[in-house]
Structure 1
């Protein structure tokens, strides 16, 4: 039996206790939590078969009363001795995709980001479309290409057409980008035909993860009119392996910056679900941006309410993300298309001027939030390395 030592200032203190799926030498994925630099095997310390599962879905489906019960019990247990068989150095475990993703929806909830892109793409028009301040704009993504941090990202191929080109061509994306986002995981779903109200957010959402919604801007620019993003987004979305429960983010809650005009009735409320989360974007190990989530215009409670207002069902494992997080200043922009102003204002990375991603580049997002009594809550990291495009077609067997 041992007591887990927590380094001073660790973002994985007892105030956090995130959930993830890990494996060790035996290769068997199961549920763990992280405390300091130690991963604790919950299938051992809680002796509940739900924590022997290879995803968090069975536990998330049990609902908020069970989530609270487990968190309270864990808080008690980690204060004392724990079985040595349940303790693993964080550096020695393999972390897996924490959930079986059911559906994936990506929003566009930052006014600063949407305004910047509007100025880039429509310099002679209003930056925001007329609907933007009336509803959380979003698109339905591809759940099957959500991957865990550390998964390599193969440069996508597709149609692209630059403004000075007479016709489209096919090939690898030449303007590969990132989007620093915060994602939310649904634990308890809703029946087809029902709605989830803004005041029901915490009854349905289990926790939050970091998201990098990789984006091929040239493919996206050619395809997205009139229906929206498709191949420019669907090739990969990376998420962090640790899921921070909503209960750990109570001290981070802040009001939204303000909404004008007042949204329609089904979106009223939820303005108290702003979150004071500070992101860091590193490009090849060099910090290039610090996007502030507290600047978001729409809250996750409003996103979920809008996602289901037409009667669309929610399911355990649904992931919905905020869209790019950006602040008012250049160093707070969460996408390279903004940070480099469409490639016209390069940033210096490791002594080189850069605009969009090159093969071999690595991007890492991290984030922390205020915890109780002056502590910080950590989300860990989500990272990915760009690999060259596979331009050859897959050959049929035989």
Structure 2
């Protein structure tokens, strides 16, 4: 286990367990910070790669984090003028792919700076600071049962965990599951939340393949929260086998299906893509962008070298019953960003021995699709989410 080390106020060397949801190594240089630390000083140190272990009032730490955010978001008048001039020059405008990579670089830099503000945690996950809230349950949900040693993590990670804890308590309403109150999914920390409802609507209305299977079985590949498995059961499918490899996702899916009273009709399994056997329907909603995730928590968004997409396509024929279908749920955002072409997707489908027998499309409704300040606004405006109905190509 990684350890983080620093020198305390008495000049003594101290170490603790290092926790990072982004999988980053412990910082090499750590200084103590408190209520007397200015935002400018903190920003300079964070940009230089120095971490600040907070020893003051907890609420002041939150205010300092907000101050760091404002400094990251601040654009100087000179830079604004330069950006405006470049926008008028079409030749100077970056391509969608360049804009995507610049956006990711900016996100990574932002994460590094904001992640430099650290908090101490006692062995029971309490925070030994003035006015610190009780975050023990949120930590247990993210990190597991209480450890035996003290630890250190970033304030940014903690805010993510406490936010996820509230979502987990409240749940997300999913209209495709029917009427309230029996239509809520409770996402766990680190498991992709079903906030984008357009793809769920596609699964709810696509025509089911008619295979004659007496006990109609479907597979849900990469189940996450279990929401697609639940939608399929609501469509009167007899049994769903839902797979995932992430322990958090497996626990989350099992919990949600139990809450919905569907646990007896869904088998949640730890598997790399497919379970054993064949089914009338095999559904997969892989990460939509073929890029390398910069942290474990990004694996729900980025599919490096399209590993999951290609694995699903290449294994589908071996797991479909005659006349069965594979439903691939995929946004074309990668195409608008120049990360994958439509021809490449169709070629991968054909090379897997599959044919397209239908497609349902939906326009995204999430806020970023209509936010002109988003760096990827043009691509998001053009984005379409599709459910591709695939069958085995007859010889």
The question of a shared fold, defined as TM-score above 0.5 by the shorter chain, is answered with no
Larger proportion of helix: 2
* Higher CA-based Rg: 2
TM-score, normalising length: structure 1: 0.24
Task: Name the structure, 1 or 2, with higher relative contact order (CA <8 Å, separation 6+).
Answer: 1
Q: Compute the TM-score of the two structures, normalised by the length of structure 2.
A: 0.25
Q: Which has the higher strand share?
A: 1
